[in-house]
Structure 1
């Protein structure tokens, strides 16, 4: 089944929650809606599920207008963050629920329902939990039961809303690997909402990055990680060090930066901003360096350095593997060697607060 979304908008009072969403999802694809709180991703998921309605736009599945269908007619499996299991029902009965409440004319026979539940219990690797109640299960086990209940009705589309949000970090990692295998074996078309980029990149075939009600970028995980399309995406993905540079013949340059490792880019000459992840920067001791180490803290594996920038008065923070770090302490002067980064024109959504840094760089090159 294929999903086509076009020009979808949603407003709550004066707030535009969705601002013209265009997206297509192919049969069997696993797509992540990734973004911060308030980006519109959960609202979009609810509209697809039939739990909310847009003010304008198109939602088609296999060419059929789903905005004319009620939620119960859309054959969707929905897994909520809080599981929403029925506490008075056993695991077996929770999984069977969607089949047992079907209209009489489409309801499978009791033996067929029991067989389907047994099959799912085996598939989800929880047959030993069949006769337990939700209160007797761990968070990870409840999540598996919730997924089984959603899959029991053989949904055309599986929707997951922050599926691991209520679980601790180690359980989330274990369940991610398991869920990816389960969904691939089932061949389900799946859309899931998350604010966790590691989760999105590990699970999804494609990632949709949303911000302020718009789609900022769509692509494979490695494409988005290596080539964020906008400053918003770069910041959201952890490129929190922003340094003004000057572009000349596709090369970025600035005092105190060794940019030899950065590739040439097809951008016009002039001022630009270089976005860097804190871990993609190597500090090099240099008595004439532009940056001064303000303080050093250790996490055990990493050293975190807060720097003072003589040129712009900014205080960027960088990280380096502790065992690989040169001798550094407060007061050490350094220059920086970016190992990887992303360049944007100085006018491409750069906030006004950065303007003084760009001005300082221009003045330094006069």
Structure 2
């Protein structure tokens, strides 16, 4: 089932939550909505499910206008962060629930329902839990049951809202790989919401980065990591160091910075900002350097270095055995050599919302 969202807006009490969303999800695609709290991703998911209504915009699924359909008529499979299982029902009855409450004319017979539940219990590898109650299950087991209940109705679209947010890190890793296999075997069109970058990039065919009710960028892990489309994306992806530079003929220049490793950028001459991650900078000892090392700490593998000048402080993560790390100590003067980074012109005029959405060609996932 393909999904087409056009110029969607939503406000709550005068506060804009969605500011003109345009997004197309192909049939059978798994797309992640990634962003911080308040970026609008859960609101967008709820509008697709029919749990919220937009102020304006279009929502077309497989050629049908879904804004004219009530939630119960959309046949959505929805998985919440906190499972939302019925505590008084067994695993088997929880999974069967969506089928048993259908209108009588649409409701399958008991034998058909039982067969469908048995099939899902085997598929989700929880057949041995069929007669247990939610209170007797671990968090990971409950999330499998919740997914089974969503899949039982053979949903047109599967929506997951922070599905692993309540689980510990080890269980989350296992369930991510498992969910990807489930998606590939069912071929469902799936959208899931997360604020976890690792989760989004590991699971999704494409990642939609959202901020302040807008789509900032669409792409895969490498595209978004290496080529952030906006300062917001750069910061969200960990570029916590921002240094003023001057652009000249496509090159970034600044005192105390060796920018020779950075490629030329198609930016106008004038002031700009260089966005860097702590792992993208190499301090090079220089008695006349702009920066001074004020702190060094090692965790065995990484040397964490804090450098300062009169105007700024920079934190660098350098492999402890790197040649450049030798001889660095508190008091050492140094210049900085960025190995990578994103640059945004400070003279750039405001960009219309729609043109800010940068999308790269889709990359096929190997099965």
Equivalent residues in 2 for 1:20-169, closer than 5 Å: 20-169=20-169
The alpha carbon displacement at 1:300 in A equals: 4.0
Report which stretch shifted further, 219-228 or 235-244: 219-228
Relative to structure 1, the CA distance from residue 298 to residue 349 in structure 2 (aligned partners, 3 Å threshold; closer, same or farther) is: farther
Matched-pair contact (CA < 8 Å) for 2:270–2:347: no
Cα displacement string for residues 3-28 of structure 1 (whole angstroms, at most 9, x for unaligned residues): 11111111111211111111111101
Q: How far, CA to CA, are the matches of 2:261 and 2:3 in structure 1?
A: 42
The alpha carbon displacement at 1:79 in A equals: 0.3
Q: What SS class does the counterpart of residue 268 from structure 2 fall into?
A: coil
Number of corresponding residues: 348
Residue 252 (structure 1) aligned with residue 252 (structure 2): yes
Residue 323 of structure 1 is matched in structure 2 by 321
Residue 175 of structure 1 is matched in structure 2 by 175
Matched-pair contact (CA < 8 Å) for 1:38–1:212: yes
Cα displacement string for residues 173-213 of structure 1 (whole angstroms, at most 9, x for unaligned residues): 11111111111111110111111111111111111111111
Residue 364 of structure 1 is matched in structure 2 by none
| Match 2:312 to one of 311, 314, 324 | 314
Matched-pair contact (CA < 8 Å) for 1:205–1:221: no
Report which stretch shifted further, 131-140 or 75-84: 131-140
The alpha carbon displacement at 1:329 in A equals: 2.4
Cα displacement string for residues 43-76 of structure 1 (whole angstroms, at most 9, x for unaligned residues): 1111110001111111111121111111010010
What are the ranges of 5 or more consecutive residues in structure 2 without an aligned counterpart?
A: 351-367
Matched-pair contact (CA < 8 Å) for 1:204–1:221: no
Q: How far, CA to CA, are the matches of 1:209 and 1:148 in structure 2?
A: 28
What are the ranges of 5 or more consecutive residues in structure 1 without an aligned counterpart?
A: 351-366
Q: How far, CA to CA, are the matches of 1:301 and 1:101 in structure 2?
A: 57
Cα displacement string for residues 219-244 of structure 1 (whole angstroms, at most 9, x for unaligned residues): 22321111110001100110111111
Matched-pair contact (CA < 8 Å) for 1:242–1:276: yes
Q: How far, CA to CA, are the matches of 1:347 and 1:182 in structure 2?
A: 48
Q: How far, CA to CA, are the matches of 2:164 and 2:110 in structure 1?
A: 32
Q: What SS class does the counterpart of residue 316 from structure 1 fall into?
A: strand
Residue 356 of structure 2 is matched in structure 1 by none
Q: What SS class does the counterpart of residue 263 from structure 1 fall into?
A: coil
Q: How far, CA to CA, are the matches of 1:124 and 1:349 in structure 2?
A: 52
Q: What SS class does the counterpart of residue 159 from structure 1 fall into?
A: strand
Q: What SS class does the counterpart of residue 307 from structure 1 fall into?
A: strand
**Runs of 4+ that moved beyond 6 A:** none
Q: What SS class does the counterpart of residue 343 from structure 2 fall into?
A: strand
Cα displacement string for residues 92-147 of structure 1 (whole angstroms, at most 9, x for unaligned residues): 11111111111111111212111111111121122221111111111111111111
Give the alignment's TM-score, normalised by structure 2: 0.91
Cα RMSD of the aligned pairs, angstroms, is: 1.5
The alpha carbon displacement at 1:249 in A equals: 2.0
Residue 298 of structure 1 is matched in structure 2 by 298
Q: How far, CA to CA, are the matches of 2:165 and 2:239 in structure 1?
A: 24
Give the alignment's TM-score, normalised by structure 1: 0.92
